[in-house]
Structure 1
Amino acid sequence: MSPVAQRPRTVAYTMSRFPKLTETFILIEMLELERQGLRVEIFPLIRECANVQHADAQAMVERAHYCRLFSRPTLDAQIYWLMRRPAVYVRAWWRAIRGNLSSPKFLSRALVVVPKAAYAARRMVELDVDHLHAHYATHPALFAYVVNMLTGIPYSFTVHAHDLYVERPMLGEKIAAARFVVAISEFNRRMMIDLYGPIAEERVVVVHCGVDPALFRPRERTSRSDIFTIVCVASLAGYKGQRYLIDACARLRDQNVPFRCLLIGEGEDRPRLETQIRDLNLEGHVVLMGALPRHQVSEALQQVDVMALPSVVMPNGKMEGIPIALMEALAAEIPVVATAISGIPELVRDGETGLLVPERNAAALADALMR
């Protein structure tokens, strides 16, 4: 008699938005788990609708479990848990409300997350999910926390950057209830231990994000162009620090350096950066490329001399974790210039794998680019 084939272990994933162009690390993590033989079920909180997305995300989009708040399946799930586990269901609501009372923004989102988690909990039981992993310690981790309360399915979550540095609703409770917690840097792990003590020391492990080496490969050695080409791959947001890179570009121009600077990414700071480029008469040097899928980013890295990412710490504490864009550049053997904040020095060792400069210092950035 032939042995009965074992079913593959099933891991559910949740994140705020999917598919999100800037969160390739989640996509490649799920793809790798499937390559290793696990079954991945995806429960995004919101379906991201964007003009540009990664080609290999489409198959996952088609089978993701999207949930509309005002829908019959979501309503049915509330009734299901209220009938099956009324005390636990009410307790989940109470903890979510109590834990987010200090922030109107987080409270309003918790009122959406709990019913969606109730829907997902019922589906995960039907799908025989073995484990649930959430990316980000805010709303996705709350989602996992509620699913765990309702079903007992163990969960874990990855802590990245803003979800630790800015606001941390219920983070201690989420850590205590999790099977384990992933920090993307030693910097993040140390911060959580300082904040939450022995339970964080016991539960938090460091797993650095990765890149696809088949896509981000060492660039081919070709004859060098006379135009020094800088690239910055990042969303156009204040904490990414592109304004200081543009100021540094003005310094390079004033020193008669023949260069061009490509800003790959999109975001709310585009109008301000366009004005800055125009005011400094840099239209012929600095180009806003917009958002690009990762295969086009890989192609762009083959044509440049250096990656610059002048990240900064914002007044509210918002900052980088460890930028994947720097990892992709280093995988392509591109020299990098970055700022010495958060977990970046764990990746970029000054003078060895790149150059580190103080944040908000255009002069130091220009000097490092010249070097």
Structure 2
Amino acid sequence: MTPKTIVVLLKGYPRLSETFIAQELLGLERAGFRLELVSMRRPTDKKRHPVHDEIKAPVHYLPEYLHEEPMRVLKALFKVAAKPGFRQAAKAFFRDLTRDFSRNRFRRFGQAAVLAAEWPSQAAWLHVHFIHTPASVGRYASLIGRIPWSVSAHAKDIWTSKAWDLKDKLAAARWTVTCTRAGFDRLNELAERPNVHLSYHGLDLNRFPHFDALRPPRDGSNPADPVRILSVGRAVKKKGYDVLLEALAKLPAGLAWSFTHIGGGDELAGLKAQAQNLGIAERITWKGALDQREILLAYRNSDVFALACRITADGDRDGLPNVLVEASSQALPIISTEISGIAELFKTEENGLLVASEDVGALAAALERMIREPALRQRLGKTAEERVRRDFDYHSSIGDLKRLFSAGGADVVPGSGDLRQ
């Protein structure tokens, strides 16, 4: 039976970097679901995407830190202590605490108590985005209120979580959905039953219509009209921007190119200093965070999209960055690395150029080739756009979720796996 009202638990909302979540929320509303959004953190971005304003669901905020709203937390604990599932939730919490004794663990239980105490009476299901800390809150709240729940796992949350933590959550959730084959394989190895499903994030192609104009055949020979290289992403370690800057600095001195970065992030100051030290700062424009309409214009005004994703020391990595799908929808040719879900969409020489992560020389060679060969850019961009428009329409991913919610706790696909097979 399809739940009419779903509570969706989010780590933070709204976030500019999580357009794929916002698009999913809007898609579920359009599919007939009533949503109540609950966020563990208040927004910090100064801008919003248009999609955020189209979502009708009310947004509620849990105490981000328990000491900020002590009476709300105490009132919630007093209320849920009488619920039949509280003892089971407390037992799970103390078991987790022996393996992860941290303030963060206490905070998650307190947030779960508030969620369970303030649970909307009309809601019948809890869906959680991210299988790390949000799923801890979701699991405890589910136990307290005896609420069925499910979880969407993405990238960092899969690869930086302990195996025991993932196993417990996979066992407790009715089902789990993830957005790359690499993530699916990791979770499926740990799952005790076939309740993990693969469904790639789709793109609302109405927001990213086909770009009819022909890009100029720039080839790096005219300093007055350089080849325009673009990257969109937060300036964080896993995006590999330090590697990308090193590769740009290795390009031949006489080659005409410019680089534009869109996005915020803690490493921006360090990257700007690195660009100065490398002697390429005058070729770089740092735009900061922009909304989706501004980013679409940037895709259309650029010649190449580059993203040097990596796996960090703690295991953090991207899945399939949404910006690669967006850029491809505009026939903008892609240079990236072979990690995670990136290689599930892009094949070198077929619809992009992929290099090994951390390989500055290979990345520089790919950049030089794309700069010098406008025909290559056109061919790869066209093929990538065809793949995205065929296989990455968000209506498919919403259909996957609708089937999962409709089936509830049932195994939706025999043997689980890719919902699109």
Tell me whether the two structures share a fold, i.e. TM-score over 0.5. yes
Residue of 294, 297, 319 corresponding to 1:296: 294
1:203 aligns with one of 195, 198, 207 = 195
Q: Distance in 1 between matches of 2:141 and 2:108?
A: 10
In structure 2, distance between residues paired with 1:263 and 1:305: 14
Once the two structures are superposed, the pairs formed by residues 332-347 of structure 1 within 5 Å of their partners are 332-347=330-345
Supply the distance in 2 between the matched residues of 1:8 and 1:150 (Cα, whole angstroms): 19
Instruction: Give the 4+ runs in structure 1 shifted more than 3 A.
Output: 58-62, 71-74, 100-104
Amino acid at match of 2:211: R
Match of 2:144 in 1: 150
2:256 maps to which residue? 258
TM-score for the superposition, normalised by structure 1: 0.90
Over 3 Å counting, the alpha-carbon distance change for 1:298 and 1:354 in structure 2 is: same
Larger relative contact order (CA 8 Å, sep ≥ 6): 2
C-alpha distance in 2, partners of 1:153/1:16?
19
| SS class of match (2:335) | strand
- 1:32–1:59 distance in 2 versus 1, CA, 3 Å: closer
The answer on whether the counterparts of 1:125 and 1:151 sit within 8 Å (CA) in structure 2 is no
The Cα of 1:21 is off from its aligned counterpart by 1.3
Q: 1:135 aligns with which of 123, 126, 129?
A: 129
Trace 1:1-371 onto structure 2 (pairs within 5 A).
Answer: 9-58=4-53, 63-68=58-63, 69=66, 70-85=69-84, 88-104=85-101, 107-126=102-121, 128-168=122-162, 170-194=165-189, 196-199=190-193, 202-224=194-216, 226-252=225-251, 254-371=252-369
Q: CA 1:113–1:186 in 2, change beyond 3 Å: closer, same or farther?
A: same
3-state SS in 2 of match to 1:368? helix
Asked if the contact 2:338/2:354 (under 8 Å) is kept, the reply is yes
- Whole-angstrom CA distance in 2 between matches of 1:287 and 1:178: 45
Q: 1:62 to 1:32 in 2, by over 3 A?
A: closer
Contact in 2 for aligned 1:10/1:129 (Cα 8 Å): yes
Q: Is the 8 A contact 2:318 2:340 kept in 1?
A: yes
Whether the aligned pair in 2 keeps the contact of 1:262 and 1:286 (CA below 8 Å) is yes
Unmatched segments (≥5 aa) in structure 1: 1-6
Whole-Å separation in 1 of the counterparts to 2:168 and 2:360:
41
Percent identity between matched residues is: 28
Q: State the distance in 2 between where 1:101 and 1:44 align.
A: 27
- TM-score normalised over the length of structure 2: 0.80
Counterpart AA for 2:274: Q
C-alpha contact 2:36 2:57 (8 A) present in aligned 1: no
Task: Tell me which amino acid in the other structure corresponds to 2:245.
Answer: I
Alpha-carbon distance in structure 1 between the residues aligned to 2:166 and 2:303: 41
Determine the C-alpha separation between the residues in 2 that align with 1:319 and 1:362: 18
Aligned-residue CA RMSD in angstroms?
Answer: 2.2
- For structure 2, the residue ranges without an aligned partner over 5 or more in a row are 219-224, 370-421
Name the CA shift for 1:142/1:197 in 2 (closer, same or farther; >3 Å). closer
- Indicate if the aligned counterparts of 1:220 and 1:302 stay in contact, CA closer than 8 A: no
What is the one-letter code of the residue matched to 2:233? A
Question: Which letter does structure 2 place at the counterpart of 1:206?
Answer: L
Q: Is the 8 A contact 1:18 1:61 kept in 2?
A: no
Counterparts in 2 of 1:138 and 1:73: CA distance versus 1, 3 Å: same
Distance in 2 separating the partners of 1:149 and 1:353: 46
The 2-side partners of 1:223 and 1:319 are apart by 32
Q: How big is each residue's C-alpha offset from its partner over 1:328-349, in whole Å with a ceiling of 9 and x where there is no partner?
A: 1111211101100112111112
AA in 1 matched with 2:229: I
- For 2:336, the aligned partner's letter is A
Question: 1-side partners of 2:173 and 2:3: how far apart?
Answer: 23
